[in-house]
Amino acid sequence: MSQIYLSAKLPELGTKLLKESALDYTVYEGDRLITKKELIEHVASCEVLICPLSTIVDREVIDAAPKLKLIANFGAGFNNIDSAYAKEKNIYVTNTPVISTYATAELTAGLIIALSRRIVEGDRLMHEQGFDGWAPLFFLGHELKDKTLGIIGMGQIGQALAKMMTAFGMKILYYQRHRLPFALEKQLQATYCSQAELIQQADVLTLHAPLTNETHHLLTSETFEQMKNSALLINAARGPLIDEQALLQAITTQQIAGAALDVYEFEPAVTAGLKEQSNVILTPHIGNASVEARNDMAEIVAKNTIALFAKQPIHHIVNP
């Protein structure tokens, strides 16, 4: 068995670096996601597990890998790994932070524009039946200029998005537990307010908060009742931030005007009923799915693996 196991194929840059360092590795070659049984079989004697967000590394998996020293997660999040238990077993867990910033902010900006101007609806119409021609009241959307963008979670992604959408003439409100320094607020042209105020005032509400016990179901039926009937909701952060059943109710009763989701509460499953809504855009968790971002992520996990065997410092440890 190999020293290193990859539970999914990486961009070529990652495996190229491992080859150049003469490290022994094995890659899962299946066409579907790896099963837990397959994962347990392959980690039995490995020292490093490189895995994507879709690979669940729980206590059972960790206990099946007595030689494991490093779990290198291919993603900024690491909710798929029991990092606290890994720490008990003296196993490092690393992630690939910051790299996803611009790719995810760009996707979020794209979803905001597409939802506001009904681009996906229009594409579907033209593919299926076409239209009779230009008409003054046909297929109206809304401009973003002078609208209020509410950002919950003003980390790197939230800040990058604020810069992008300011260029569209949007007013920026944000909320998170810790307020940004005044100079940075000024630079971003962003105004801090309470979460309740933000939810009530936002024309577009976008989530960029981490998933914790406190943020699970951050948006519920009560939250949607507080939003504008014309408001749009974007989630390219973590699926369980939203109670999707409550979202479906809010969409079907026109409590809000539309939503765009790149992540899902029960991913990869989508809550029944959402697919049938014409004012809901669904994308398959592609926030950081750019060639540039994925190459950078592959470089991080490969270099951390190389560093472990070379007894050099490992970066981006999430369970120090």
pLDDT over threshold 90, residue 294: yes
For residue 235, the model assigns a pLDDT of: 98
- What is the percentage of the chain residues whose pLDDT exceeds 90? 97
**110-113 contacts: CB < 8 A, separation 24 or more?**
111/234, 111/236, 111/260, 111/262, 111/281, 111/283, 112/144, 112/149, 112/165, 112/204, 112/206, 112/232, 112/234, 112/260, 113/144
Q: In this structure, what token pair is assigned to residue 38?
A: 């397959």
Q: Residue 77 — pLDDT band, cuts 50, 70, 90?
A: confident
For the chain, give percent helix, strand, coil, nearest 5. Answer: 35, 15, 45
pLDDT over threshold 70, residue 3: yes
Do residues 287 and 236 touch, judged by C-beta distance below 8 A?
yes
Q: Residue 61 — pLDDT band, cuts 50, 70, 90?
A: very high
Q: Residue 76 — pLDDT band, cuts 50, 70, 90?
A: confident
In angstroms, rounded to a whole number, what is the distance separating the alpha carbons of residues 138 and 132? 10
Measured distance between the N- and C-terminal CA atoms of the chain, rounded to whole angstroms: 28
Average pLDDT over residues 279-305: 97
For residue 179, the model assigns a pLDDT of: 97
Average pLDDT over residues 244-268: 97
Average pLDDT over residues 74-79: 90
Average pLDDT over residues 278-296: 97
Q: Where in the sequence numbering do the catalytic residues fall? A: 238, 267, 285
Average pLDDT over residues 131-153: 97
Do residues 74 and 51 touch, judged by C-beta distance below 8 A?
yes
Average pLDDT over residues 223-241: 97
Radius of gyration of the chain (CA): 22
pLDDT over threshold 70, residue 192: yes
pLDDT digits (tens, 9 = 90+) for 258-282: 999 999 999 999 999 999 999 999 9
Average pLDDT over residues 163-179: 97
Q: Residue 41 — pLDDT band, cuts 50, 70, 90?
A: very high
Do residues 174 and 194 touch, judged by C-beta distance below 8 A?
no
- What is the percentage of the chain residues whose pLDDT exceeds 70? 100
pLDDT digits (tens, 9 = 90+) for 94-116: 999 999 999 999 999 999 999 99
Average pLDDT, the chain: 96
Q: Is the pTM value of this prediction over 0.85?
A: yes
* DSSP β-ladder status, 25-27 and 70-74: unpaired
Closest CA to 113 of 187, 170, 29: 170
For residue 1, the model assigns a pLDDT of: 57
